[in-house]
Amino acid sequence: MSGKRKLRDILSPSKRPGLYAGMIVGILALISLGAGLAIGSWRNVCDDCPSIAQIYVWEPQQSTKILSHDGRLIAELFQERRTPVSIDALPDHVKQAFISIEDKRFYGHRGYDPRGIARALVELVLTRRKSSGGSTITQQLARNMYQQEVGYRKDFGRKLKELRVALELEKVYTKDQILEAYINQVNYGRGRYGIESASRYFFGKMATELNPAEAALLAAVINRPEYYSPFENPDHALARRNLVLSQMTGEGYLSRTEFERWSAEPLPEQPNLEGSGGTAPYFVEMVRRELDRRYGSDLYRRGYRVYTTLDLEMQEIAEEAMERAWERIESQGHYRNPKYADVIAEGGSEHEGRTPYLQGLFIALEPESGEIRALIGGRDFNDSKFNRATQALRQPGSVFKPFVFTAALASGIPASHIIYDSPLILEEADGSSWRPRNFTPEFGGPTTLREALRRSVNIVTIKLGLEVGVESVAQLARRMGLRTPIPRVPSVSIGAADVIPLQMAEAYTPFATHGVRSTPRAIIRVEDSDGRVLWETKPEQERVLDPLVAAVATDMLRTALDNGTGYSVRNPAVGNLSYEVPAGGKTGTTNDGTDVWFVGFTPDLLAAVWLGFDMPRQIIPNAQGGLYAAPAWADFMREVYLGESPLRPIPEPWEMPDELIIRQVDKVTGKLATEWCPQDRAYTEFYIPGTEPTEGCDADGSPGLFGVPLRGLRDLEPPESDLGETPPPDSAAVIDTVTPGIRSRHRE
């Protein structure tokens, strides 16, 4: 007792007034210190968070939309796939769904909910787990907006940071603005951020069209996107969605009848993948690379709208035509190479630029504007992203030959010019010799240039290239669009130089446009998220041929398609493209059938087809451009112009310029047809003024020899041919080949 009394006496104010006052001062000092520390800590708890100025200018990341030429979505480019939507445009039940499940008292608190925090603390004490509850929509928005600064650790410091930023948000924005930002920011799973992107993915519709059941599902999945995904875990998704509907009913947003109706609504079974990259992936990747060079990281977060030249219907037709072409080859009984389906079933290719199965490409563009309407760069983008249309270097074979004949026309040599189709040997600089061959072992003797191009005669083309000059041929090919190296060697005349297929398509545009080259383009314009035009392209055109030269060359290519090596396009049993569709084109087949081509055009559409292997090898015995590439081209053009729902009207045929001179000539001599020459040898030819023949056919019909004899050329006995069966001269099987030369290779 004495001890207690002594302590009481010490603490008594009457006994120790100074001590008591000191204790009070100390306690107050401690309280002040604590308050100061608390205030300082509160002020500094978010010293690494964004300032209020940054909050004002905050913009969510948006995906860039890649659109077709008529504004339809092809694909999206994004780090976070997102398209903002105004809250005023959304139905009321969308807002109600999110508020009901995420923050019932959203419109009543000032950024934090004491009742929610208390509930979370009780759960923590009872379950000894950190609950995810307690955060308001404003706090969740703060976390989502500034995830790098705030972080995702579930700790007390993170909660304080969320609270601090949430209070700042509540000072700056209205409740509807906060809710709008939230539903446009939150993650709905699989890279879909924002309600518009999620709505299109889950339901294939705009967010403004959501019904209550759909709105409830979107509000449900944000809690745990993968766990509540209707495609991954439909049972969990259904239970969570109906919980949201139940909460909406409890809050008075839905009647009991409406709850029963919407809770019986089935879940979506398959995602809507429109714009997910499945359409024209090689084209989209080509566009993405161009945009990435121009805009860098902004491309994936600024919400650009990119209008491209792609025509979705033409792309689909091209894909179907190529599928038939691949199947046509692989179904042949003597096809001995790996098949695509088998390679994919075994896990796919080891190297995307060297797939073991049959590959191909397809390019369609408008020759006048250069706008690419369809593009296929390979058989399977997921297995090989290497774009054979824009990156591959391939030998073109006889699709190069028109440049030789055009160079001859430009130099004043007419289409009726006679060159002997006879054996040839060329002496090389190293002392060796090259003996070029035709596809067939026969030699045709005196041959006009028109006939040589129609039948794709190698020997005549080589001799013509030497007569014109290989340098002249190479320079003309470059002016027309081929920018890869063109070696100045005789074999280049029959396609020994490697080319990029898209450049080959470009080089054919002057044939369809009376001599004007159009550079291919894939992008029309780029707009920002507000619709302002950031970049707009214009057609790049250049006249590279005299209109008269172009007209005669085009007519020669029309002959080659209508009844030459490209006849399979017209053949009712193969391509079945009616003669009412005016067209010209050229087949191409490289040595040993490693590449087959067809490049053809109408007055308003041009397309190039290539089939082959990444690592060159024989496709199939007797592989020919006329048998396999040309039919794919015809399938495409037939559907575009003559399908059940034609994409465009049949164009008017090319008009031959009035300045051209028309003459009846003898196809053996190249001279004017007269009564002294056999009538079955006469045909009609077009001439650039000054190149028309003036001498009549000899009475005995002897051909004579045009031009100057060529150095290094000697007549030989016909060499033995190992190229197989000789096709009929006027059939679709007439084909051409290129002499071994530069091996095909790829440019990465």
Are residues 386 and 378 in contact, defined by beta-carbon separation less than 8 angstroms? yes
Note the pLDDT tens digit of each residue in 308-366: 999 999 999 999 999 999 999 999 999 999 999 999 999 999 887 899 999 999 999 99
- Mean pLDDT for all residues in the chain: 84
Return d(Cα 440, Cα 721) in angstroms, integer.
7
Return d(Cα 660, Cα 665) in angstroms, integer.
15
Tell me the mean pLDDT in the region 681-707. 78
CATH superfamily of 77-263: Biosynthetic peptidoglycan transglycosylase-like (1.10.3810.10)
Helix axes 470-480, 458-468, angle to 10 degrees: 100
226-244 core/surface letters (b: 16 or more CB in 10 A; e: else): eebbbbeeeebbbebbbbb
Q: Which of 165-169, 290-294, 541-545 has the highest mean pLDDT?
A: 541-545
Structure tokens at 191: 């890279």
DSSP conformation class of 138: H
Range in 268-272, 473-477, 728-732 the model is least confident about? 728-732
Tell me the mean pLDDT in the region 96-124. 77
Q: Whole-model pTM above 0.85?
A: no
Return d(Cα 630, Cα 312) in angstroms, integer.
22
Q: Which residues contact 579 (CB under 8 A, 6 or more apart)?
A: 562, 570
Structure tokens at 72: 């339809």
- Domain 392-746 fold: Beta-lactamase (3.40.710)
Confidence of residue 40 (pLDDT cuts 50, 70, 90): very low
Domain boundaries, the chain: 2-44, 77-263, 392-746
Name the more confident of 384 and 151. Answer: 384
C-alpha closest to that of 220 among 167, 263, 191: 263
Q: Which residues contact 316 (CB under 8 A, 6 or more apart)?
A: none
Q: What is the end-to-end Cα distance of the chain in Å, rounded?
A: 97
Residue 47 has pLDDT above 70, yes or no: no
Note the pLDDT tens digit of each residue in 59-89: 667 889 999 999 999 998 876 666 788 899 9
